[in-house]
Structure 1
Amino acid sequence: MNSFNHQAVDQPEHPSSDEIDLRDIAIMLINGWRWIAVSMATCLALATLYLVASTPSYHSSLAYTETSDGLNVINRIPGIAITPQQAVSELEIRLGSYERFRGFLDQHPDYADMLMQDSPPELEGTVLRTQFRELKVAPGDLASGSPGEVSFSYREDIDGAALLNQYFQWSQRQYTEDLLARVDRSLASAISRNEADMEAHLEAYDAELDATVTRMSEEHSIRRLELQDQLAAERAAERASREERIRTLEVAEEIAGMLGITKPTSPLSLGDADDAARIVYDNVSIGNDLPLYFLGTEALAAEREVLKQGLDQPISSPAIRQIEKQLEQLQHQRRIEAFKSRESDSAFIDAYNQLRQENTLLRANRITADDIHVVEVVNVAYRPIHPEGPGKALVMALAVILGGMLGVMLVMLVAFSRSLRRYRSQTA
């Protein structure tokens, strides 16, 4: 230092000039080499302290993209409609959740111990939250097709790449299990709704069947009463017809007795006129039907007696027999008996059977985690060879350059300061 000051004072004075003398600058820098060396040594010492104090940091990232058909199997389930974009967004929310990160560490205590690095238990929450801040989730751009990325920065003593890969896989499994739970809830809800509809259809059919049976029973009773009335009317009419026949026979029998006709005869046999007169009488009197008294008293009495005896016996006729046949058929209500003998009405309800078939198909759905693919991993995380930031050689080189620059500036400032003082002393 002293040599620099002595030589600077003993330099011959030259006439003042505004021009820069490169020779003087070079001599000034050579004479101030100690200042430059001290500045460079200081910067190198600071750089060395930085390298010793700083902890190497590594950065790993995992890239993923959505799948086009990984959710088709669950979207066929009633009540499930999840787009690939929605699934990726929900997964990213899970990845960025500290509570789920803590859940992952609870199930993987080795990674939790690795992150804690012998920190006291009371600082566990603070340490883990600090480590979690180094986990970044960057959603992909669907428009440009760029994949999403999950990155993690960590110290040298942490296997951050394995932690990141495990955390991503764990989050994806957890989300897949959540999707399976949604599917199970949706299937159970659909089956429950169908069962409620089936019960409603069955109750409605039972009510309709009860009304039908009641209506048929009433119609059946009315029909029986109507036929019974018809039967009574037919029997009364038949009896009246027979009684009227008996009275007619009695009158004819009385007339035949008065005429002395005991045997069946004809009008031609009653008179003794000649043949011509008989032909005329026959043409005039016979006609289509002869009076009953021509049958004679014997025949009339026999018919009358048979009719009287028939009055005490059940009266029958074709019409009565037809009505009795219908009444016999009405003794059994076969359709109503069939309705009442059913063990279940479900087989006769089309809507019920359709819903039961739908429930059978719903229960046949067997979806596993292997059937669901939320995202596709493009690049797994790996540990880089070198840590983040500049290397040691670069830091030392920058320290030398910066130290040299600061030394040159210091030398020039000292020279300028002394030149200014000298100028002031000369002009004083």
Structure 2
Amino acid sequence: MPDQPQQPSYSNDEIDLVELLRSLFQQKYLILAVACLITLGAAAFAFLATPHYQVQSVLRPVDRGSLDELNGTGVYELTPAEALSRVGAGLSSYENRLKFFRDNQPLFTGLVEPGRSLEQVFEEFNRSAFTMLQVDPKRPNSLSEFVGISLTYPKGVDGVAVVNGLVTAVQETERERIATDLKVLIANRLFALEQKIEAARASYEASKQAQIAKLLEQDALRRAQLQDELQALRGELKTRRGNRIQRIDEAMQIAESLGIRKPTTPSAMADVQQQGQVVRTEVNSREIPLYFMGVDALKAERQALSERSSDDFSEPRIAEIEKELALLSRNRQVEVLERRKNEDLYLKDLAEWRQEAAQLKGIKFDTSTLQLVRVDQLALEPLSAVKPKKALVIGLGGFAGLMLGVFVALLRNLLRPRMGKAP
């Protein structure tokens, strides 16, 4: 039989998919063993790991009527949105959370670890357990404002009591702060009113003293002016009297030279002279010359003028001046001002300030009944743990085990020495 030509054999390094599948099928028990082992490990973790639960509480703004009594005091103004914001800030406050943690140790017994301080335990718990719930800032036009807090906690921690207790504690803290703020505001307002009243009293006293000083100064000035006028009038009257005496002296000389002893008139003298000798006298003035009064009358008048001690009676104005000086000796308005006893009655706006102070002192607002927020959702006992998710963990464990088994089988197949085929 003739020899058939031999076909050359080629070394094929390409992966044969059928051979690969055949190899994996041959190692199916290995793959299943690895998958079962990993799945059992995942199941053990899912059932033995400490379960964590999650609870949350949601708060919403109260009605305006709930804050009406507080706002009605006229001292403190708080809107529902501001009250909600204050409570939300209190819930997110590390200080408030730490205080609640310290005051409620029995609720956190599952967290206590030897060798770690309470602050260290709480720091780790606070960082991973609490989550604030609030309106999405990207949606400012949300239909309703709210704020909330979510807690993820391990078994051994009473999460429901923690969340509800923290919400209650924060509200109580905010009520106490509002009560303190209200007291401070009332005290400050009362102090300001007292300062206003004291300032008004000081201003009134200064204005009264200034008014009295002005009145007394006006009286002193008027008295000085009247005294000057009185002195000038008396000097004028004295000068008039001296002038009168000099005129009388001249008239007496003329009367003696004419022989006039008794009062007469020019016409009477003319009649007498016509009986004897004719004396012609021409009078150019309407007033009868003084010497016609005669020496006797002139001498009597001169003596009376010389003996006069005061000329005041001869001038009516002097009596008026003395009357006015007598009135100025006592200023009745100054006496009335100095006799005022209850000067507060004359303070402007004092009644209004006292009324406001009485209203402030009458404020007896009890903040313990103040409702700052409306609890829209209380924290309730969870029905199941949020982690670990057993089905998911077991499913992922089975899938990972199967992948690992295939990888081990492939690795084993690659490490197996290849047998060359005979020609």
* Counterpart residue number, 2:325: 327
Look up the equivalent residue of 1:131 and give its one-letter code.
F
Residue 312 (structure 1) aligned with residue 305 (structure 2): no
* Change in CA separation of 1:121 and 1:207 when aligned onto 2, cut-off 3 Å: farther
State which of 124, 131, 139 in structure 2 corresponds to 1:136: 131
Q: Which string of whole-angstrom CA distances, capped at 9 and with x for unpartnered residues, describes residues 49-98 of structure 1?
A: 22332122111223346789779949975xx9999988777655543444
SS of equivalent to 1:58: strand
Deviates more, 1:290-299 or 1:316-325: 290-299
The C-alpha deviation readout for 1:2-24, integer Å capped at 9, x for no partner, is: xxxxxxxxxxxxxx9987559x9
Counting only pairs closer than 5 Å after superposition, residues 17-416 of structure 1 correspond to structure 2 as 29=25, 34-35=29-30, 38-39=33-34, 41-64=36-59, 73=71, 92=88, 94-107=90-103, 109=104, 112-117=105-110, 119=112, 123=116, 125=118, 126-133=120-127, 134-138=129-133, 140-145=135-140, 147-189=146-188, 191-192=190-191, 195-196=194-195, 199=198, 202-203=201-202, 206=205, 210=209, 213-214=212-213, 216-246=215-245, 248-249=247-248, 252=251, 265-272=264-271, 285=283, 288-295=286-293, 307=305, 311-312=308-309, 315-316=312-313, 317-343=315-341, 350=348, 369=367, 377-389=375-387, 391-393=389-391, 395-396=393-394, 399=397, 416=413
Moved more, 170-179 or 315-324: 170-179
Tell me the secondary structure at the aligned position of residue 221 of structure 1. helix
C-alpha root-mean-square deviation of aligned residues, in Å? 5.1
* In 2, Cα distance between equivalents of 1:200 and 1:405: 90
The residue that corresponds to 1:424 in the other structure is 419
Secondary structure of the structure 2 residue equivalent to 1:152: strand
Contact 2:56 2:379 in 1 (8 A): yes
More moved, 361-370 vs 156-165: 361-370
Corresponding residue of 1:7: none
User: Which letter does structure 2 place at the counterpart of 1:236?
Assistant: G
**Contact 2:53-2:387 within 8 A present in 1 as well:** no
SS in 2 for 1:424: coil
Q: Deviations over 1:369-427 (max 9, x none)?
A: 4798766655443333222036545555555565566556666766x469x54x51656
Change (3 A) 1:274 1:315: closer
Paired AA for residue 228 in structure 1: Q
Measure, in 1, the Cα distance between the counterparts of 2:197 and 2:369: 31
> In structure 2, the residue corresponding to 1:288 is in which secondary structure?
coil
* Amino acid paired to 1:151: S
Q: Report the TM-score when normalising by structure 2.
A: 0.68
Number of matched residues? 396
Task: Give the Cα separation in 1 of the matches to 2:24 and 2:272.
Answer: 197
Using a 3 Å threshold, how does the CA distance of structure 1 residues 89 and 427 change in structure 2: closer, same or farther? farther
One-letter amino acid of the structure 1 residue matched with residue 52 of structure 2 = S
Q: Kindly state the Cα deviation for residue 175 of structure 1 after the two structures are TM-superposed.
A: 3.1
Which ranges in structure 2 are unaligned for 5 or more consecutive residues?
1-11, 275-279
Maintained 8 Å contact 1:64/1:375:
yes
Q: Which runs of 5+ in 1 are unaligned?
A: 1-15, 276-280
Question: Once the two structures are superposed, what CA deviation does each residue of 1:287-330 show, in whole Å capped at 9, x if it has no partner?
Answer: 63223444556765665566566x13673221111110121111
8 Å CA contact 1:47, 1:396 repeated in 2: yes
- 3-state SS of paired residue (1:271): helix
TM-score, normalised relative to structure 1: 0.68
